Amino acid sequence: MIPRRHRVAVRGNAAIERSSGNRANANLLGSTVHSRARRTNSVDQPSDQPGYDVVGDVHGSAAALEQLLFEMGYRDDGASLRHPRRQVIFVGDFIDRGPQQCRVLQIARSMVATGAAKAVLGNHEFNAIAYFTQHPSRPLEHLRQHTEKHIRQHSAFLQQIGNGSADHAEAVEWFATLPLWLDLGDIRVVHACWDVDAMTGLGTSMVDTDLMVAASTRGTDAYRWVEHLCKGPEVSLPDDIQFHDKDGNLRTEARFRWWDPRPPNFRYSCETPARIDLPDQVIEDPPVTQYLDTVPVLFGHYWRTWPQLDANTHTACVDYSAVHGGPLVAYRWSGEGTIDASNFVAAHASSSFASMV
């Protein structure tokens, strides 16, 4: 189902190498969103400026997605939801967890097909491809093994789409057309981490069967590169520190805050529960180079808490746990060179939209 040579060239080494700049981002971490971004139940007037609306992890929350798009001025033109002057960019993770995953795919696929949206591959779509795809040299196995844990993580999608159905195969085939990142010149979008070394190593933003096999094999460069882009880099915690993550799994590694421009330090460069007291200690060998470029990067994946921003002047997360009580969030970019807190918009599903899906 995955084209063996479905590849698109990267936007040139120059586009990637811009990420190695040395100007640090001003810090907006912990800022609280004010103004229109907090009025999640009011309908905003459609923007008069062209630009991109970068939408966070949807995870099957179709009612919230339709509410958010409506508030931003998108309307049904008979083929898809569309804005007269703007385009959506989805950061991936359309599926798993939520109750309306097929409707989410219907909305997103129609918008991408008609040019009303772009999208990048999230880790849940990558995992879905691997779960569906048989290993080419071991036909009784899949690239993502069907373990109890993996089945549990993917079960809501499989139940809603129909495990092994034609719709299932078609959805996976569509996932394989999504790039791992987008570099649009003045704005960049990736699901979890803008890692220049990973992009250079892969040489392409597109997945095919060969890359899926390599990226599903622990210990390979491709595995590490795709992990960074889709799931985020991690660091081993010092002093035998461990914690349970949101799913109850025991962890001895923590996600690395690659967007924080401060020198890497366990105390503020690691994603751990607040109760974990990490030492004020330099991370000697960080897994990726921190993002210090001045081209804005928007990303998802990290389960922020609304309305606290996790952003710098050139990086911002748009994932606010829409499927677990948070709003679905978008950042409305209109050509600005720095992140503006007033450009965040958020929506919970209203009862009227919830009844439509």
Give the pLDDT confidence score for residue 7 in this predicted structure: 31
Which of 357 and 290 is assigned the larger pLDDT? 290
Q: Are strands 188-190 and 234-236 parallel, antiparallel or unpaired?
A: unpaired
Determine contact, residues 209/132, Cβ cutoff 8 Å.
no
CB-count burial class (<10 Å; 0-12, 13-18, 19+) for 191: buried
Residues 6+ apart with CB under 8 A from 265: 280, 281, 282, 283
- Is the per-residue pLDDT at 311 higher than 90? no
**3-class DSSP string for 76-90:** ECCCCEECCCEEEEE
Q: Round the average pLDDT of the chain to a whole number and report it.
A: 86
What's the whole-model pTM score?
Answer: 0.87
User: How far is Cα 244 from Cα 234, in angstroms, rounded to an integer?
Assistant: 15
For 337-356, write each residue's pLDDT tens digit: 999 999 999 998 764 444 44
Query: Dihedral of CA 285/288/293/296: which sign?
Result: negative
Of 4-18, 140-154, 267-281, 343-357, give the range with the top mean pLDDT: 140-154
User: How far is Cα 332 from Cα 342, in angstroms, rounded to an integer?
Assistant: 9
SS3 category, 117: strand
Instruction: Report CA-CA distances (Å) from 262 to 28, 232, 301.
Output: 12, 18, 21
- Is the per-residue pLDDT at 16 higher than 50? no
Domains assigned to the chain: 12-41+49-233+299-354 (3.60.21.10), 235-287 (no CATH)
Q: Are strands 328-333 and 51-55 parallel, antiparallel or unpaired?
A: antiparallel
For 93-138, write each residue's pLDDT tens digit: 999 999 999 999 999 999 999 999 999 999 999 999 999 999 999 8
For 42-64, write each residue's pLDDT tens digit: 344 446 689 999 999 999 999 99
